[in-house]
Structure 1
Amino acid sequence: MEEVNFGKKHSHSFFLQKSQELIAVRSQAGKKLASALCCEQAHQAIGDSERVMHIEDADVQVFKLPPDSDLSKRKALLRELPDVRFAASVLVDPLTQEPVLYTENIFLKFTDQLTPTQCLVTLNELGMTIKQQVPYAANAFFVHNKDCHGTDVCSLTLKLLEREDIEYCHPEILRQGQRRAIHDNQWHLKKTTVTYQAQIDASANVEAAHEFAQGLGVVIAVIDDAIDIDHPEFAGPGKIVGAQNFDRRNSKQGPRPKNALERHGTAAAGVACANGQVGASGVAPRARLMPLKLTKPLGARAEADAFFWAADNGADIISCSWGPAEGHWADPTDPRHTQTFPLAASTRLAIEYAATKGRNGKGCVIFFGAGNGNESVDNDGYSSHPMVIAVGACNDQSRRSAYSDFGKALWCCFPSGDQPHPDPKFKPATSIPQTRGVRTTDLSGKFADSSNGAFTDLFSGTSSACPGAAGVAALVLGVNPMLDRQAVRQILADCCDKIGHADDGPLGHYDLNGHSHYYGHGRLNALRAVHLALERL
């Protein structure tokens, strides 16, 4: 077992074990792994294996070997290939057996009392080479020790953490993330008759709020897989600001998608701030969009860099419809339901930088989708961070969406879809009628769907709820830009409609503070939020 602890201040140790059936392979710099693995020797090593993970930016692939394979022999075969940088064993989470990759980069933060010179001297004494001095925390660095290889980096960081002058120290741990997704039809924005069949009155009352505010002057940063910034709903002078791609291999194309699979961010951005001039309006159609492409695994150095970039380049609001992998919403026996996911120290500090230093000290308002596992959001280090607003999903019947995560950290809900899983072996506890998703932007241009054009009616999950809530915050700041982060957070609690259903049970009940485990403070009411913001002028 290898132990990892992210730091003393937010101490959370977790243990990883070496897998006997997984092997990680990485290409040499400037080489393509796919080409390197085309030869006969590579076929002998992994030709009968299943690829279970691919980190494109670093060109690392993880393969699952057949039972009773000789792991050492296969690694040796791969290491002989000239274009293979390394072939190594893989650490896994003991609970779920999911792969957890690590690099030999170390995140290290000294206590604030040390001077910059003392930090540099100590790093030199420890044999550390600086790869990056991070800008979002004092005395913090990504470093590398040339004499430390493989899993030795885990024991080294634990030993360093015992020093009184070091506050955080851990390897760069990479885990596979998960996107939070499962016009007249925009039922989530207004009371409407959908496709001339059914009248729906379960919206966030956004259309009425547009009489007073549409997000003018507010910048919403959407951190996601890619954003189609050429979409007609994101057109117009000044609509796109601060665009950035944090993936090295495709940085020149900006945040644009490189294939038709990278469509999640476009849909999320549309929910937040699409112009509404062609086929779908965002909650805050006059807000500006800061599209930030991030496809690296959770915990990567670039993840923290994205939050710092957003805060330092003028974002008022940050929307993140992604997070740790979760259990199947309808399978109560899935072990991932009880898995805790701690936040890397680098990401934690970057989030706290954005929440306290952004907007000239008033703080960026940061949203995360609560998750789609029908499990406790309190186990998710991203959504449950106290400076984050965790957003759940409610459906077109004013009930919690069956998949939506719940718990103490859930702050509010926003309308989204509720699609029961078609697999017959998964039976929900109660009968859940199938409900509709949200209409928003989809890929345009060469990646557009021929049947739906550049729009979709199927966006769902807390992936959709999160940017919806971010859009409501943009309406609030549009009418009262002097509000700080905490004031916006409180307005979003005070504006909510207390929705629920008799079948919800105790978790659906609202306590004396107006909070429910299923709904947070309830479903956002955009008109009431704008009125509350105006009252504070």
Structure 2
Amino acid sequence: MRFAGSALVDVHTGAPLVYTENLFIKFIDTLTQAACEALIEALGLSIKQAVTYATNAYFVCQIKPLGSQVCDFSMRLLQRPDVEYCYPEILRQRSNRTIHPNQWHLKKTLVTYQMMVDASANVEAAHALSQGENIVIAVIDDGFDLSHPEFVSPGKIVAPKNFDRRKPSDDPQPSNKHEVHGTATAGVACADGAQGASGVAPKARLMPIKLTKPIGAKAEADAFLHAANAGADIISCSWGPPEGHWADPSDPKHKRNYAMPAHTRLAIKYATTKGRNGKGCLVFFAAGNGNECMDDDGYASNPDVIAVAACNDQSRRCAYSDFGRAIWCAFPSGDEANPDPRFKPATSLPVTLGIRTADLSRDPAKKEAPSKALADCYIENFSGTSSACPGAAGVAALVLAIHPQLSGSEVRQILADCCDKIGHPDDGEAGEYDLTGHSRYYGYGRLNAFNAVRLALAKRTP
């Protein structure tokens, strides 16, 4: 321990936050590297990391600890004409985007309730043309069970990384039995389908990147940089800032706004412009599960990312799914019962059908323990926009496998053009599609994977 700082309160959100000794500083682009390093030394700072996702940008620290004065010190530096950004590393609570035989989200199917469900993203039909061959999906999440039967095929895992450590390691495995989220999201995106659950893109490769640090950590940007530089085509993020409870409109957290720090925003910009050899990585974010407007969520509303909402087995918005101008598309996920009396099922089918995906195959605390029985390596009730986000990322993988030369913006447009327009009268004006075909609840609609790969094929072959 070098020093312990106070916990502060964000005056805009009322949320607690913690600062560290790390300062992010970016000088103006016209300075040379030598000039930047000379200035850093003259200011009594030492370089911790020279970042490569932005010009003249560094994480630095004072040679002598500043304690709570680090905020005032960074503000003084920000007044200099040769400094573009300067602020301490601020850590906020991080929230996963999860609410809680039958992969009804992939195809029309008869579920265990003995009722036909036809509310899928039409993925099974798309598999006749593409299964995501040779496409790399990076999933940034809390841990990944790489011994799971759905992730052990040859060549499945690419460039694993763990950014939870001071010195990043290549082991993204769960540290405890609670780190289950990453395995589930990766399963939705690209599980092999060898034993008990198929991902949307079963032949895509997985780049598992472990990150459980709070929102705003330096490692957050490092994770995006690693994904882009290590060959990821697609990056899926089922996490974001805290949000209000979806069923409680009076929850004060609904009114909190969270800005994305510049170092994370610059790293995402680097991935979406420099990744894939300049064609741009596709970065997906879960819209959120607060049943609130997400246009002030600096993560999912970032214009460089694709925000994914959740729709249910009745082709309507999930009760918890966030909404707003930034929603790009929707993907099927499990739902929750809405306390609003207007929100009634269109049929007698319960609105609680979850998503079947991978679960931990062994107890991480027992390194030598035998694997669970195969039937216990899967869950049936994964839900939230946490599940919708990697599903949409999988559809992008199907598209890129058909036409790898597409730019990020071209894939983004295909994802808009392929959608089925869904909705429900109870959505009201917010659920209606405008003249551009966009809805605040569904974006451009529910993704139709078969339409998406056909559009990609048409661009490849006139």
TM-score, structure 2 as length reference: 0.94
Could you tell me how far apart the structure 1 residues matched to 2:176 and 2:446 are?
35
- Equivalence for 1:175: 92
Q: Provide the secondary structure at the position in 2 that maps to 1:113.
A: coil
1:120 Cα deviation from its structure 2 partner: 1.0
For 2:325, the aligned partner's letter is: K
Q: Provide the secondary structure at the position in 1 that maps to 2:187.
A: helix
Could you tell me how far apart the structure 2 residues matched to 1:352 and 1:96 are?
26
Answer with 401-410 or 143-152: which moved more: 143-152
Could you tell me how far apart the structure 2 residues matched to 1:506 and 1:262 are?
39
- The correspondence for 1:527, drawn from 447, 450, 453, is 450
- The correspondence for 1:372, drawn from 289, 293, 298, is 289
1:191 Cα deviation from its structure 2 partner: 0.1
- Equivalence for 1:166: 83
Could you tell me how far apart the structure 1 residues matched to 2:7 and 2:157 are?
40
Aligned pair 1:497/2:410, yes or no? no
CA contact (8 A) 1:323 1:371 kept: yes
Could you tell me how far apart the structure 2 residues matched to 1:210 and 1:384 are?
31
Which whole-Å deviations, capped at 9, do the CAs of 1:386-422 have from their partners, x for residues lacking one? 110000000000000011010010000000011237x
Report the number of matched residues.
Answer: 448
Aligned pair 1:126/2:38, yes or no? no
Q: 1:251 to 1:444 in 2, by over 3 A?
A: farther
Could you tell me how far apart the structure 2 residues matched to 1:86 and 1:251 are?
22
Could you tell me how far apart the structure 2 residues matched to 1:250 and 1:188 are?
39
For 2:424, the aligned partner's letter is: H
CA contact (8 A) 1:96 1:335 kept: no
- Equivalence for 1:428: 340
Could you tell me how far apart the structure 2 residues matched to 1:339 and 1:196 are?
40
Percent identical = 63
Aligned pair 1:302/2:219, yes or no? yes
Q: Provide the secondary structure at the position in 2 that maps to 1:347.
A: helix
- Equivalence for 1:385: 302
For 1:324, the aligned partner's letter is: P
CA contact (8 A) 2:3 2:65 kept: no
- Equivalence for 2:348: none
1:494 Cα deviation from its structure 2 partner: 0.3
Q: Provide the secondary structure at the position in 1 that maps to 2:295.
A: helix
Could you tell me how far apart the structure 1 residues matched to 2:137 and 2:51 are?
23
1:146 Cα deviation from its structure 2 partner: 3.1
For 1:492, the aligned partner's letter is: L
1:446 Cα deviation from its structure 2 partner: 3.2
Could you tell me how far apart the structure 1 residues matched to 2:124 and 2:223 are?
32
1:180 Cα deviation from its structure 2 partner: 0.5
Q: Provide the secondary structure at the position in 2 that maps to 1:532.
A: helix
- Equivalence for 1:67: none
CA contact (8 A) 1:392 1:404 kept: yes
TM-score, structure 1 as length reference: 0.81
In the alignment, structure 2 segments of 5+ residues that lack a partner are 346-350, 365-370
Q: Provide the secondary structure at the position in 1 that maps to 2:209.
A: strand
1:249 Cα deviation from its structure 2 partner: 6.4
CA contact (8 A) 1:391 1:465 kept: yes
- Equivalence for 1:355: 272
Could you tell me how far apart the structure 2 residues matched to 1:432 and 1:529 are?
31
1:93 Cα deviation from its structure 2 partner: 2.7
For 1:353, the aligned partner's letter is: Y
- Equivalence for 2:320: 403
Answer with 290-299 or 438-447: which moved more: 438-447
- Equivalence for 1:418: 335
- Equivalence for 1:456: 379
More strand by share: 1
- The correspondence for 2:259, drawn from 338, 342, 351, is 342
CA contact (8 A) 2:91 2:215 kept: yes
Q: 1:408 to 1:249 in 2, by over 3 A?
A: same
1:216 Cα deviation from its structure 2 partner: 0.2
Aligned pair 1:203/2:120, yes or no? yes
Could you tell me how far apart the structure 1 residues matched to 2:199 and 2:431 are?
29
- The correspondence for 1:314, drawn from 195, 208, 231, is 231
CA contact (8 A) 1:369 1:465 kept: yes
Answer with 434-443 or 320-329: which moved more: 434-443
Could you tell me how far apart the structure 2 residues matched to 1:142 and 1:522 are?
41
Aligned pair 1:89/2:12, yes or no? no
1:259 Cα deviation from its structure 2 partner: 1.1
Q: Give the superposed CA RMSD.
A: 1.7
Could you tell me how far apart the structure 1 residues matched to 2:26 and 2:11 are?
28
With a CA cutoff of 8 Å and minimum separation of 6, indicate the structure with the bigger relative contact order: 2
1:124 Cα deviation from its structure 2 partner: 1.5
Q: 1:249 to 1:505 in 2, by over 3 A?
A: same
Q: 1:412 to 1:344 in 2, by over 3 A?
A: same
- The correspondence for 1:218, drawn from 116, 135, 158, is 135
Could you tell me how far apart the structure 2 residues matched to 1:87 and 1:197 are?
58
Rg larger in 1 or in 2? 1
- Equivalence for 2:368: none
Which whole-Å deviations, capped at 9, do the CAs of 1:230-289 have from their partners, x for residues lacking one? 111011111101111111169557011111100000000000000001000000000000
